[in-house]
A = this chain, B = another copy of it.
Amino acid sequence: MRSKKSRSTSVDIAHRAGVSQATVSRVLRGSPLVNPETRARVLEAVRELNYKVDHRASSLRTQRSGTLALLLFEDPTPDESHINPFFLSMLGSITRACARHRHDLLVSFQQLSDDWHADYEDSMKADGLILLGYGDYMAYRSKLEQLVEHGTHFVRWGAVLPDQPGISIGCDNFQGGQLVGEHLLGLGRKRVAFLGHASNHYPEFFDRYRGCDAALQKGGASMHADLQVDAESSEEAGYAAALALMERGRPFDALFAASDLIAIGAMRALVEHGRHVPWDVAVVGFDDIPMARVASPPLTSVIQDTSRAGELLVETLLKRVRAEPVDSVMLPPSLVVRRSSTVG
């Protein structure tokens, strides 16, 4: 139709229903100050002409777009189309949460190096931003400060830290690490290697590391600096890190990977070098991505509640947009035990 006649507007509806354009608008916005019969007539015309409110015009007038933007970034950039599966799962739950809250979602991949603070909200495309991604927190932090200073509405998925700019929703990574430490200790493993960055630059990984350390210490063990190898969250990095670890020649009977991707890459390296998982080395990951169940052996991991997380991110952001008070929140993780860590 639209290809032939041009799209109808509220004026067309007004005409057809024999009312003013203002009244059409009132009906469509659900204003209570409209006579029920008038309303019925307008609605009838709306149906007949298959009319839809022009979202741009209404949003220009009301100064609310009803749209949220999701900015997803990873540094270094993953090769084409290989976004971290954990973020993809978050993307799914955020999309659903947006729909529940009757908002649209704009999705965009960004480089940490991009000028992403400058775009979506400034050009009035979105009422607020959801930030999702890994990367060096020290580089990240200054961007966040700009956003705050700029008055942009945003919520970030990530570590909940004291004094951080803006607000965050994140997993309780320390507790996640503890769950892993306790599990390994219960298995009698005390020489626990850690694959992943463990510094302030990667606070999520670092908290996982420290949580595990804290748990081990209760059992008279601890993490060892010579059993820690840096790795970003990818299979390749996990593979390389496991090789580097074995190269060092220090004994270890368990391996805690900062993410499932790292764990999966590491298991490959271990097996290729004759280490049996879990007999020689119990392996635990983090995130519980779909791949974890399928890996061989199936990977013990820490579950982050992505659907709760998506809901909370959207809910919190909408509160921020409405200038209601909000707080950072940490979500409790849980452990799922599979054969990569247990014998039998």
**Is A336 on the interface with B (CB-CB < 8 A)?**
no
Given the complex of chains A and B, what is the CA–CA distance between A290 and B290 in angstroms?
A: 10
Question: Chain B residue with minimal CB distance to A308?
Answer: B80
Given the complex of chains A and B, what is the CA–CA distance between A99 and B119 in angstroms?
A: 13
Question: Chain B residue with minimal CB distance to A85?
Answer: B290
This chain's copy number in the assembly: 2
A4 neighbours in B (Cβ, 8 Å): 151
Interface size counted on chain A using CB atoms at 8 A: 54
A41-68 interface (Cβ within 8 A of B): 50, 52-57, 59-60, 65, 67
Q: Which of B65, B91, B99, B294 contacts A56, CB < 8 Å?
A: B65
A16 neighbours in B (Cβ, 8 Å): none
**Is A291 on the interface with B (CB-CB < 8 A)?**
yes
Given the complex of chains A and B, what is the CA–CA distance between A296 and B54 in angstroms?
A: 52
Given contacts A99-B108, A151-B4, contact A52 B291 (CB under 8 A): no
**Is A259 on the interface with B (CB-CB < 8 A)?**
no
* Cβ contact within 8 Å between A1 and B150: yes
**Is A3 on the interface with B (CB-CB < 8 A)?**
yes
Given the complex of chains A and B, what is the CA–CA distance between A56 and B89 in angstroms?
A: 30
A93 neighbours in B (Cβ, 8 Å): 80-81
A268 nearest CB across to chain B (Å): 9
A294 neighbours in B (Cβ, 8 Å): 264, 291, 294-296
Q: Which of B53, B80, B96 contacts A80, CB < 8 Å?
A: B96
Question: Chain B residue with minimal CB distance to A60?
Answer: B56
Majority-rule SS of A interface residues:
mixed
* Cβ contact within 8 Å between B104 and A109: no
* Cβ contact within 8 Å between B107 and A2: no
Given contacts A80-B96, A151-B4, contact A105 B104 (CB under 8 A): no
A101-119 interface (Cβ within 8 A of B): 104-109, 118-119
Residue positions of A touching B, CB distance < 8 A: 1-4, 7, 50, 52-57, 59-60, 65, 67, 80-83, 85, 88-89, 91-93, 95-96, 99, 104-109, 118-119, 122-125, 149-152, 264, 290-291, 294-296, 306-307, 310
List 5 A-B pairs, minimum CB-CB distance, nearest first.
A3-B151, A296-B296, A52-B122, A2-B151, A55-B123
Chosen A-B contacts, 22 in total, with CB atoms closer than 8 Å, are: A1-B151, A2-B151, A54-B60, A55-B124, A56-B59, A57-B60, A60-B60, A80-B307, A81-B89, A81-B93, A81-B96, A82-B290, A92-B109, A95-B107, A95-B108, A99-B109, A104-B108, A105-B106, A290-B291, A291-B291, A291-B294, A294-B295
